[in-house]
C-alpha cells in the first residue's frame, strides 16, 4: 500500500514442504496444522522509524502498567474491579511483589499499528504468551534470508538472563508432548535458558499438603508454567496450587502477580486513573493518551467499540460493535470466558489490511517484553478479530 509503514515482500519461489521440514528441525513443528497453513512464508517489513516508536512506546507502557499494579496490589476492591478471582487474593497479598519492571519476565503486548504508523495498544499478555518460537527462531531466519534486520535476535539472550535469575527446575504446559504449540514453546524456552530443566504435563502434577510433584514423584520447587493463573479459580486442584504458592512450597514463574498485569481490567484501571488525574506524571499521561484506547468496565460507548472478557485469550469472547451500536462481528472460534469473568469495553481501532499470497488479511503486531525489555516482533494475520484461526507472518525492520 502506497505510503504505508509496512511493505509485504513477495513470497520466494521455495518448496514449502522442504521449508516446513527445515523449520520442524528448528523446533517449529506447527507450521502446518492438519490441512491448514498456520505459517505464511512471506515477510512483512516495518519501517525503522515506526519500529523505534513502537519499542519506546512499549517500554513506557510497561513502566506505566508496572506502576499501576503496585497501586492496585493489596486493594481487594480493585482486585474485584479488574476481575481477579477471590481464590487468588490471599496468594497475591502474601507473596512479595517482584522488583520494578519484572512482575512478569516473559510477556507480549498486542498492538494495532496502522498504515500511517499510528500505534494503539489492544492488550498485554503478561502471563502465558505463546508465539515465542515464531518470533525468536522463525522470524530471524526469514529476515536473514531476505537481508532484513530483525530486533528479535536479542530474545534468546534475554530469556537466558531472565531464567538465570528465576532458575526454574521445571517447565510445564497442559498436554506436554501432544499439544504441539505449547510443548514447542516451553521446549524452546528451556533450550534458550541454558539450564537443566525438566518439561512436564500439568495434568500429571499432584499436590499433597502444598508439595507439588510431577508424574514420576519428583518434587517441584520452582516452576515455569504455560498455565493461565485465572484457571486456578475453576480447575480441580486450583485451590491446592494456590496454597502451595502462598506457603512458599512452590515458586511460580511468571510470578503470581503477573495475573494483575494480565487482566484486561488493568487497562481500564489505567484509563480511569488517567481520567481522574491520579497517579501518573505528565509524561506518563501523554503516553496513555497517545497509545491507550479509552477502556471501561461498563458499556459507556454508543458505538464503535469492542467488548471482551478480562481473561479472554486467542480472541475468545471478543465482540465488535459498529457506529450504530449494533453487534457487527463476534469471535466464533475461541473459548468464550465472558460468562466466567467480567468484561471490559474498549474504543475500537481496526487492524490494518495487508495483501498476502493467501489473500487479504488484517495484521496484529505483537511486541515481546522479556526480562523487562521490549525485544521481539510477532505478526498475526487474520480477520478484524485475531482469533485462534489466524496465521503467523514474520515482521522485520527496514
- Helix H or strand E segment including 347: strand 343-347
Q: What is the pLDDT of residue 315?
A: 62
Q: What is the pLDDT of residue 313?
A: 72
Residue 230 falls within a domain, yes or no?
A: yes
Q: Range of 202's domain?
A: 6-263+353-397
Cα distance between residue 168 and residue 197, in whole Å? 7
Q: Specify the number of domains making up the chain.
A: 1
Residue 10 falls within a domain, yes or no?
A: yes
Q: The pTM is what?
A: 0.95
Residue 222 falls within a domain, yes or no?
A: yes
Residue 20 falls within a domain, yes or no?
A: yes
What is the biggest distance separating any 2 CA atoms in the chain, rounded to whole angstroms? 63
Residue 206 falls within a domain, yes or no?
A: yes
Tell me the CA distances in angstroms from 236 to 182, 206, 292, one per residue in order.
21, 11, 36
Exposure of 113 in the CB half-sphere (CA atoms within 13 A): 32
Residue with cell 507439588: 212
Residue with cell 498492538: 111
Helices (H) and strands (E) in the chain, counts: 12, 22
Residue 344 falls within a domain, yes or no?
A: no
Intra-chain end-to-end CA distance of the chain, in Å: 16
Q: Which residues pair with 367 in a beta bridge?
A: 109, 377
Q: What is the pLDDT of residue 312?
A: 79
Q: What is the pLDDT of residue 331?
A: 80
Tell me the CA distances in angstroms from 270 to 61, 119, 338, one per residue in order.
10, 17, 21
Residue 317 falls within a domain, yes or no?
A: no
* Residues of the chain with confidence (pLDDT) below 50: none
Candidates 344, 286, 296, 374; CA nearest to 62 is 374
User: Alpha carbon 111 to chain centroid distance?
Assistant: 11
Candidates 289, 388, 392, 284; CA nearest to 347 is 289
Tell me the CA distances in angstroms from 250 to 68, 194, 247, 265, 291, one per residue in order.
26, 22, 8, 27, 37
Residue 337 falls within a domain, yes or no?
A: no
- Cβ contact 138:378 at 8 Å: no
Write the DSSP string, 108-150.
EEEEEE-TT--EEEEEEE-S----HHIIIIIHHHHHHHHT-B-
Cα distance between residue 370 and residue 360, in whole Å? 31
Q: What is the pLDDT of residue 336?
A: 76
Q: Return the axis-axis angle of helices 265-276 and 48-72, rounded to nearest 10°.
A: 90
**HEC secondary structure over 355-384:** EECCEEEEEEEEEEEECCEEEEEEEEEECC
Amino acid at each position: 500500500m502506497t505510503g504505508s509503514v509496512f511493505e509485504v515482500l513477495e513470497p520466494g519461489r521455495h518448496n514449502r514442504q522442504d521449508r516446513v521440514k527445515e523449520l520442524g528441525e528448528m523446533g517449529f513443528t506447527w507450521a502446518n496444522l492438519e490441512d491448514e497453513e498456520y505459517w505464511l512464508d512471506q515477510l512483512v517489513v516495518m519501517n525503522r522509524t515506526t519500529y523505534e516508536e513502537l519499542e519506546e512506546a512499549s517500554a513506557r507502557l510497561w513502566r506505566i502498567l508496572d506502576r499501576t499494579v503496585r497501586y492496585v496490589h493489596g486493594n481487594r476492591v480493585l482486585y474485584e474491579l479488574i476481575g481477579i478471582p477471590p481464590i487468588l487474593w490471599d496468594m497475591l497479598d502474601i507473596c512479595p511483589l517482584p522488583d520494578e519492571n519484572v512482575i512478569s519476565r516473559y510477556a507480549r503486548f498486542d498492538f494495532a499499528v496502522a498504515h500511517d504508523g499510528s500505534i494503539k495498544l489492544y492488550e498485554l499478555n503478561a502471563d502465558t504468551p505463546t508465539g515465542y518460537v515464531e518470533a525468536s527462531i522463525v522470524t530471524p531466519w526469514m529476515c536473514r534470508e531476505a537481508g532484513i534486520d530483525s530486533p528479535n535476535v536479542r530474545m534468546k539472550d534475554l530469556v537466558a538472563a531472565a531464567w538465570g535469575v528465576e532458575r526454574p527446575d521445571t517447565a510445564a504446559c497442559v498436554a506436554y508432548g501432544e499439544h504441539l504449540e505449547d510443548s514447542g514453546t516451553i521446549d524452546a524456552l528451556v533450550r534458550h535458558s541454558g539450564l537443566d530443566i525438566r518439561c512436564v504435563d500439568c495434568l500429571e502434577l499432584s499436590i499433597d499438603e502444598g508439595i507439588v510433584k510431577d508424574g514420576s514423584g519428583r518434587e517441584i520447587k520452582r516452576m515455569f508454567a504455560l498455565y493461565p493463573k485465572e484457571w486456578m479459580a475453576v480447575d480441580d486442584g486450583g485451590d491446592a496450587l494456590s496454597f502451595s504458592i502462598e506457603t512458599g512450597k512452590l515458586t511460580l514463574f511468571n510470578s503470581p502477580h503477573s495475573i494483575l498485569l494480565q487482566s484486561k481490567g488493568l487497562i481500564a484501571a489505567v484509563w480511569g486513573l488517567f481520567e481522574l488525574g491520579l497517579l501518573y506524571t505528565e509524561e506518563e499521561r501523554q503516553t496513555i493518551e497517545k497509545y491507550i484506547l479509552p477502556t471501561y468496565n461498563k458499556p459507556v460507548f454508543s458505538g464503535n467499540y469492542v467488548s471482551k472478557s478480562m481473561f479472554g485469550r486467542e480472541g475468545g469472547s471478543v465482540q465488535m460493535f459498529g457506529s450504530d451500536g449494533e453487534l457487527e462481528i463476534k469471535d466464533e472460534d475461541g473459548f468464550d470466558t465472558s460468562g466466567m469473568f467480567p468484561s471490559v469495553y474498549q474504543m475500537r481501532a481496526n487492524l490494518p489490511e495487508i495483501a498476502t499470497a493467501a489473500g487479504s488479511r488484517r495484521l496484529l503486531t505483537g511486541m515481546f517484553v522479556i526480562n523487562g525489555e521490549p525485544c521481539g516482533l510477532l505478526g498475526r494475520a487474520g480477520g478484524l478479530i485475531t482469533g485462534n484461526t489466524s496465521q503467523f507472518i514474520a515482521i522485520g525492520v527496514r
